[in-house]
Amino acid sequence: MTLDKFCDALNKAGCRFDFIGFDACLMATVETAVAAEPYADYLIASEETEPGVGWYYTNWLTKLSQNTSMDTVEIGKNIIDDFVTVCYKNSPSDKTTLSITDLAEFSGTVPPALTAFAAATSKLVDSDDYRIVSDARANCREFSPQNKLNQVDLIHLAKNMGTKEALALADALSGAVKYNRTSRSMTNSYGLSIYFPYQKLSGVSSMLSVYQSIGMDESYGDCIKDFASIVSAGQVAPASSGNSGTGSLLGALLGEYGGALSGGSASDGLDVASLLTSFLSDGDFASIIGGRSTEWVDRDLIKRNAERIANTTLAPDRLVYTVKNGQEVLALTEEEWGLVQTIELNVFYDDGEGFIDLGLDNVYTFNADGDLAASYDGTWLALNGHIVPYYLIDSVEDGDAYSIRGRVPAYLNGERVELILLFDDRNPYGVVAGARRVYENGETDAVMRGLIALRDGDTLDFLCDYYDYDGNYQASYMMGDRFVVDGEIEISNVAIEDNVSLASFRLTDIYGNAYWTPTFTN
């Protein structure tokens, strides 16, 4: 049920609730609060996906039956405390969040603060300070990131932005959220998330339609349109420059050099800017965005910023290795590194007929000069000694506490899943937290609740992407022999057989573009 239908149902019910609680995933959002506020005093919901056990109803209902005049916030605290405690006992590796928000206070303080935040953010986007917004978004706590839902913690986003309007919004939200509790690994989760598109832009149009239906602040809708418009233009710019193969995975596998971060010469930037402006007239943004509706794209905004966008994307001569002190390194300027938001190691195994993609991990080293070393130790992640494809999901640090999650594509007893691996300060060598079902072929956009526990006797067939020697994707194939679960699964790093492997770094820029460096061996 979409939020506009949720609003309609509550309106037809004709009553007001003490609280509306969602024993469901990903519902502690500003949008949900806006939709629920006319019909309830409080909202109880989770920012993250909920573990399969859900709420523990026994205790809080018993306490309520013993004191029916209990304050609503106290009821909420009981629900939240029991939920987090019981979830940890049943599935300690699962991420858990639950909060209670005072909707009356929310409606009085958050909308004006959100309006000011949105207006200030739009000004940053329409200026040389776009990177402030992009970096804040890229480094923000995101929920269910593997599903690219674009839901981020709004307080964390605001704190990352650091503007006076953003900090005022964070204060207003903190006041409205009366109680919030999370599992230990869920740092920077403060109680309410919001839709802020970045990795996937195809949902912008439908979300704007929902915003209109529920009465969401119009200036915030304009803000995300502005940001998404610049992101989409930043993704158009490399292709419009004629260097679409530069810095690509295909180019890396074929050993092609070229492609860079930064603007190159001024003439290069102006050329790309003119090409981008031309694309605005004749190009199809749907091919970039991935959605049918592109009316929200602000072409005037893009035209005003075309030169700046061009000067902060690819130049064809910088993504190359140089040798310093006998070591190959990627040496970029401080300004150029400032355009890079993530670095991931991408390793490929040569099986004699093509390349098996072993995945992406956050493994890399900078030398004392600030250069990225073109080296790795020749090992890859393995389960019980068997190398498997592994892809980083997210990595969060908060003081001494840290949490790293990754996924392993597989079939569990014939069903398509991803194994979720967790590394944190309590499990430094990692644990297999469970399996999450993957919905294929557009079966549904829903996010599965909780993880499937692995049991002895379960069968696992690991899935890898395969490329031929021309760098063309062929298909996804089963990798290795069938794996039968028998006791606890050990995670380790294993040397790749005969050192037959190639590695490349995937760099992601401030527009969400991914570029691969030339390949190297260990």
The reported pLDDT for the residue numbered 391 is: 97
The reported pLDDT for the residue numbered 283 is: 60
- Comparing CA positions, the residue from 374, 371, 375 lying closest to residue 331 is 371
Q: Tell me, what DSSP letter sits at residue 291?
A: S
The reported pLDDT for the residue numbered 95 is: 87
The reported pLDDT for the residue numbered 265 is: 39
Task: State if pTM tops 0.95.
Answer: no
The reported pLDDT for the residue numbered 363 is: 94
CA 346 to chain centre: 18
pLDDT digits over 282-295, tens only?
566 676 677 667 88
Please report, as a single letter, which amino acid is at residue 513.
N
The reported pLDDT for the residue numbered 127 is: 95
The reported pLDDT for the residue numbered 418 is: 96
The reported pLDDT for the residue numbered 499 is: 62
Q: Tell me, what DSSP letter sits at residue 326?
A: T
Q: How far is CA 481 from CA 388, 463, 477, in A?
A: 11, 11, 12
The reported pLDDT for the residue numbered 415 is: 95
pLDDT digits over 43-89, tens only?
999 999 988 888 999 999 999 999 999 999 999 999 999 999 999 88
The reported pLDDT for the residue numbered 443 is: 52
Q: Which residues of the chain have pLDDT under 50?
A: 242-246, 257-267
The reported pLDDT for the residue numbered 253 is: 67
Coil, strand or helix: which one is 387?
strand
The reported pLDDT for the residue numbered 147 is: 84
Nearest-angstrom CA–CA distance, 344 and 506: 5
Close Cβ partners of 372 (under 8 Å, ≥ 6 residues apart): 329, 330, 331, 332, 343, 364, 365, 366, 505
